[in-house]
Structure 1
Amino acid sequence: MSKLKKYILVVNSGSATLKFKIFNQENFEVAVTGIVEKIGLPGSFIAIEEKSSKRMMMKNYPGGIDSHQQALEVIFSFLKHWKRKIKVIGHRIVHGGQNYTKPTILTKSVLAKLKEYNQLAPLHNPINLSCVNICLKDLPSIKNVAVFDTAFYKTVPEHAFLYAIPYKYYKELGIRRYGFHGISHQYVANKTAEKLNKPLKKLRLITCHLGSGSSVTAIKFGKPIDTSMGFTPLEGVTMGTRSGDIDPSVAFYLMDKLDLDVREVEKILNQKSGLKGIFGYSNDMRDIMIAAGYKIKDYKATKKFNLQEQKQGKLALAMYIYDIVRYIGGYTTVMGGIDYIIFTGGIGERNQTVRNLITKQVRKAWPKVKSLAIPTNEELMIAQQVNDFS
């Protein structure tokens, strides 16, 4: 009698997307992969592929998929024959605060504690936790385990993660830099060492996860020592719709001059700023680069950009590149040198022009620096970390 294979389901939910993979527990080969895009927006799309049977599902939802709950219901309906084979479910949770620095079983008490961090990652944590609750409801006999984006940064020293505000706010309220995209940064750092056939503990890397959300991390001899995102994923470099670094007084000024409340300003900084705020038309880097005069292979902008839009596109791109170079330069100095810049994320992996613009600037100061583009695989990293819980 053949032994029943066991599998790991990994759920990776974003603000408007839901990615998932089912891995063979023994060799981490992908058995099923899928993605749901534009959740809560018109034109939602689901694509699922079952590797062994070549069974596929591709479906457009012109009216949109309303929620992550609806998306998971569609996924579970398609995968109902897999339910008895799944032994553990791994979830990417963006913010784990100071309490959670390793994979953790998601019990009621843990979920209650994690809910306290929703305000610190408003675009991510509430959705992450809603997906957990759906899995607990639909697959109650299976362990759900969290892997935290913030956990990777537990080695960042106190002088790097503290803000220069009264120390009691750190002790009493936990206000500090936490860092995000940790699962991705950890994966590509490990993959870099493997690709170079060198021990990670002998490399000085700066990893750049560049996508709608972007972050830069300094990894010195295998340990992160600083990262661009902070107390929330709002801090750091210019992003798709997030402002990145900003003088806090700007928020106070907006509230005073425009009679806005805290939540309205928070929405401006999280959802209406960054590349979108400067360019005006969209936060899609491909549109911005076309407006700035670059050609993008296999992509056509939905409109012809006028002179003002071209000017704003050039400005948005320049600000984006400048921010990333500024962080790389600072971290290189702090580490006492650099071996490789690693690019990952949607922009980092696929946009060679952006990579070239960044490395060209960095090489003016460090001519010998090398760069690599390494596709991230957060789902595999999560599967490997939750495997022992099955």
Structure 2
Amino acid sequence: MKKVLAINSGSSSFKYKLFTFPNEEVIASGIADRVGLKNAVFKIKLANGREYINNTHIPDQEAAVNLLIKSLKQYHVIDSLTELAGIGHRVVNGGEIFKDSTIIDQAKLQQIYDLADLAPLHNIPEANGIKAFMQILPNVPQVAVFDTSFHQTLDPVHYLYSIPYSYYEDYGIRKYGAHGTSVDYVVKRAAKLMGINHNIINLIVCHLGSGASITAVKGGKSYDTSMGFSPLAGVTMGTRSGDLDPTVVQRLMDKAGMSIDEVINVLNHKSGVLGISGVSSDMRDLIESKEKNAKLARRIFINRVVRYIGAYIAELGHIDGIVFTAGVGEHDPGIRAGVMSAFKYIGLEPDYKANQTDGEKFLSKPNSKVKALIVPTNEELMIARDVMRLTRQQ
């Protein structure tokens, strides 16, 4: 039996899950949080449900990795590092260089760093995480799994912007998409639940979390997607504006005296439902809030999701289903109901009673021509599967 670690690194944290193969069971999971900051914490949860929390100083990613390996041994999750078939790392943007997951060497690691301008908030901490694991576990394969890989099937009609073509050739300005690892899992799982071969299924996947994207899936492959050159594009999000007339940036620079970096910071961190509501980026807070713009923010969020789904229905010609996943998609019945209600005209018959609870399920009535369902995402499992595929351990 082989074991695979799946890692999701942030600027001051990394989440992890340890799987066994071929049964794909999670035998440990947790987080190293506030790495390099005060009040750092390391958590590990075992298969028996026991959780251990260590409040300790974690100065850097390398220290966090050492603490993880020590904990896995301490709690007898692994006895030897030879049990590890590999370690998989989520990387947000692989540009046009990485069309599939790949085993990382020093040259490929540098390429991930070089792509940082496409995802500056993500690629650098993710590359730092890979580097730390490579230093501590040099004999264990490190595999990068890119969110953009699933969207490599986009046609130029869908990924090019209507600007001089030379900007694409010279600077790589195009739509790259995001959340591909999540969408890939959701498509395959939804197809199984619906009894349709995933290679012929047409779906619209709504990955709705703090970051949100809508993906049109044709024949099991990405056909179009809402996020663009960066994760800032597309629908309204928790703190991101989504699609915006670019002259708004010029207006803010001229009238508010802001620099381009300040404007982009606002669009990334102070906009979205937070900016509209003035209350929170969390949908749960908006439900409880009595502020007049809290409900407006939720209505705008639903509207932007509906717009993209409607456009993608037109592009695909027909769809088999609409799938909700990620934090908001899996846990906010009000958002789901608002979206589903807009598509009764295509034969979607919402089951509003089923919609009141969470968990993997159908949200449409049995005779509904177009299905709606919740599929909880599992990016870590997809990462672990790619490790097994690339290290030929299956």
TM range (shorter): 0.7 to 0.9
Matching of residue 6 in structure 1 with residue 2 in structure 2: yes
Match of 2:22 among 6, 22, 26: 26
Unaligned runs of 5+ in 2: 349-368
Match of 1:79 among 72, 76, 84: 72
Match of 1:121 among 106, 116, 119: 119
In structure 2, how many angstroms separate the alpha carbons of the residues matched to 1:45 and 1:210? 28
Give the corresponding residue for 1:294. none
Summarize the Cα distance change of 1:280–1:110 in structure 2 as closer, same or farther, 3 Å threshold: same
Summarize the Cα distance change of 1:176–1:366 in structure 2 as closer, same or farther, 3 Å threshold: farther
Scaled by the length of structure 1, the TM-score of the pair is 0.87
In structure 2, how many angstroms separate the alpha carbons of the residues matched to 1:259 and 1:70? 42
Summarize the Cα distance change of 1:16–1:363 in structure 2 as closer, same or farther, 3 Å threshold: farther
Match of 2:46 among 43, 47, 50: 50
Summarize the Cα distance change of 1:38–1:229 in structure 2 as closer, same or farther, 3 Å threshold: farther
Structure 1, residues 194-221: CA drift from partner, whole Å, max 9, x if none? Answer: 1122112332100011111000000012
Summarize the Cα distance change of 1:68–1:348 in structure 2 as closer, same or farther, 3 Å threshold: farther
- Is contact 1:105-1:144 (8 Å) kept? yes
In structure 2, how many angstroms separate the alpha carbons of the residues matched to 1:320 and 1:331? 17
Give the Å deviation of 1:142: 1.1
In structure 2, how many angstroms separate the alpha carbons of the residues matched to 1:267 and 1:68? 26
Structure 1, residues 301-360: CA drift from partner, whole Å, max 9, x if none? Answer: xxxx4xxxx211011101100000000000001101222110000111111221111101
Structure 1, residues 211-232: CA drift from partner, whole Å, max 9, x if none? Answer: 1100000001212110000011
Give the Å deviation of 1:126: 1.3
Structure 2 counterpart of 1:383, one-letter code: A
- Is contact 1:88-1:389 (8 Å) kept? no
Give the superposed CA RMSD.
2.2
1:201 match: secondary structure: coil
Give the corresponding residue for 2:307. 326
- Is contact 1:68-1:127 (8 Å) kept? no
- Is contact 2:176-2:229 (8 Å) kept? yes
Give the Å deviation of 1:15: 5.4
Match of 1:150 among 125, 148, 173: 148
Structure 2 counterpart of 1:93, one-letter code: V
In structure 2, how many angstroms separate the alpha carbons of the residues matched to 1:322 and 1:73? 46
Structure 2 counterpart of 1:263, one-letter code: D
2:17 match: secondary structure: strand
Give the Å deviation of 1:237: 0.5
In structure 1, how many angstroms separate the alpha carbons of the residues matched to 2:37 and 2:278? 19
Give the corresponding residue for 2:360. none
Matching of residue 200 in structure 1 with residue 181 in structure 2: no
- Is contact 1:213-1:240 (8 Å) kept? yes
Aligned-residue sequence identity (percent) comes to: 43
Match of 2:298 among 283, 302, 317: 317
Give the corresponding residue for 2:174. 176
Scaled by the length of structure 2, the TM-score of the pair is 0.86
Structure 2 counterpart of 1:389, one-letter code: L
Unaligned runs of 5+ in 1: 292-304
